[in-house]
C-alpha cells in the first residue's frame, strides 16, 4: 500500500474508533444478514468478540507501513480461524459487511479512494490469514 492509502485507512479508522461498539454491532448485524449460516460459527459473547475485532483492526491499521511486524500475529489469527470453522469463501461476505459498516458510519467521508484503500488493506490481511489457514 502506498503512503496515501495508508493515511486514508488510518484517518477513516480513527473516525470509527470512538464508536467502535456500535460499529462492531452494525458489522455483525450486516454480516449475518448477508450470510446467515456464519452466525453459527460465533459461540462466544458478541460484544466481547466485537471489541477483539476492533482491537485487532486497530493494531493492523497502526502497522500498515511495517507489515512484517504483524504478519506472524495475523497468520496465527488465520490459523485460529481455521479452528473456528472459517473457510476461504467466508472472507468475501466479511469484506462486504466491513465495507458496508464503514460506509454507513462515515457517510460522505467514505470516498471511493478511501474504500479502495480499505479493499487493499483487507485483501492483504485476509490473504495472510488464509495462507496460514491453508498451511
Ligand atoms: C481480516 C479479517 C478478520 C479479522 C481481523 C478477524 C479478527 C478476529 C479476532 C481478533 C477474533 C478474536 C479471537 C482470536 O483472536 O482468535 C476473531 C474471532 C472469530 N472470527 Fe474473525 N477475523 C477476520 C475474519 C473472519 C472471517 C472471514 C470469519 C468468518 C465468518 C471470522 C469469524 C470468526 C469467528 C467464528 C471467531 C470466533 C468467535 C468466538 O469465539 O465465538 N473472522 N476474529
42-91 pLDDT, tens digit each: 999 999 999 999 999 999 999 999 999 999 999 999 999 999 999 999 99
Q: Of the candidates 116, 123, 129, which has an alpha carbon nearest to the alpha carbon of residue 12?
A: 116
Q: How confident is the model at residue 135 (pLDDT cuts 50, 70, 90)?
A: low
Q: How confident is the model at residue 22 (pLDDT cuts 50, 70, 90)?
A: very high
Q: How far is the CA of 4 from the centre of ligand 1 (A)?
A: 28
- Counting atoms of ligand 1 from 1, which one is nearest the CA of 91? 27
Q: How far apart (Å, rounded) are the C-alpha atoms in residues 22 and 27?
A: 8
Q: What pLDDT does 132 receive?
A: 80
Tell me the three cell numbers of residue 10.
488510518
- Counting atoms of ligand 1 from 1, which one is nearest the CA of 42? 41
What percentage of residues in the chain have a pLDDT greater than 90? 96
Mean pLDDT of 94-110: 97
Domain 3-134 has CATH 3.20.20.70: no
Q: How far is the CA of 81 from the centre of ligand 1 (A)?
A: 6
Amino acid at each position: 500500500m502506498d503512503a496515501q492509502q495508508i493515511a486514508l485507512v488510518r484517518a477513516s479508522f480513527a473516525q470509527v474508533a470512538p464508536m467502535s461498539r456500535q460499529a462492531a454491532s452494525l458489522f455483525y448485524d450486516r454480516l449475518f444478514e448477508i450470510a446467515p449460516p456464519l452466525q453459527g460459527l460465533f459461540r462466544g459473547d458478541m460484544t466481547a468478540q466485537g471489541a477483539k475485532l476492533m482491537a485487532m483492526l486497530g493494531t493492523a491499521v497502526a502497522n500498515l507501513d511495517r507489515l512484517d511486524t504483524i504478519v506472524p500475529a495475523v497468520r496465527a489469527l488465520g490459523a485460529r480461524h481455521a479452528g473456528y470453522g472459517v473457510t476461504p469463501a467466508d472472507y468475501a461476505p466479511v469484506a462486504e459487511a466491513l465495507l458496508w459498516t464503514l460506509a454507513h458510519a462515515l457517510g460522505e467521508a467514505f470516498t471511493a479512494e478511501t474504500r479502495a484503500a480499505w479493499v487493499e488493506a483487507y485483501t492483504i490481511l485476509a490473504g495472510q490469514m488464509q495462507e496460514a489457514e491453508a498451511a
